[in-house]
Amino acid sequence: MQDKITRILILLLLLISVTSCSLVEGIFKAGMGVGIFIVVIILAVFAFIISKIVGKK
């Protein structure tokens, strides 16, 4: 009986750790996507400002 409980606990621990790794991977992928989006927006705003400055001449 003790051996069966130990196996079940090890299996549950393995499943929980694999799930948490997937969760962390998802967070980093989302973070990278948001980071790229923010950089693109900053570059667009910068290009807009430059075009307004150059267009006034």
pLDDT value of position 40: 93
pLDDT value of position 23: 67
Task: Please give the angle made by the CA atoms of 10, 16 and 21, to the nearest 5 degrees.
Answer: 125
SS (H, E, C) the chain: CHHHHHHHHHHHHHHHHHHHHHHHHHHHHHHHHHHHHHHHHHHHHHHHHHHHHHHCC
Say how many domains are in the chain. Answer: 1
Residue 57: which domain range? Answer: 1-57
Rounded Cα distance between 38 and 32, Å, is: 10
pLDDT in tens, the chain (57 residues): 778 888 888 877 777 766 666 767 777 878 888 888 888 999 999 999 999 888 875
pLDDT value of position 46: 93
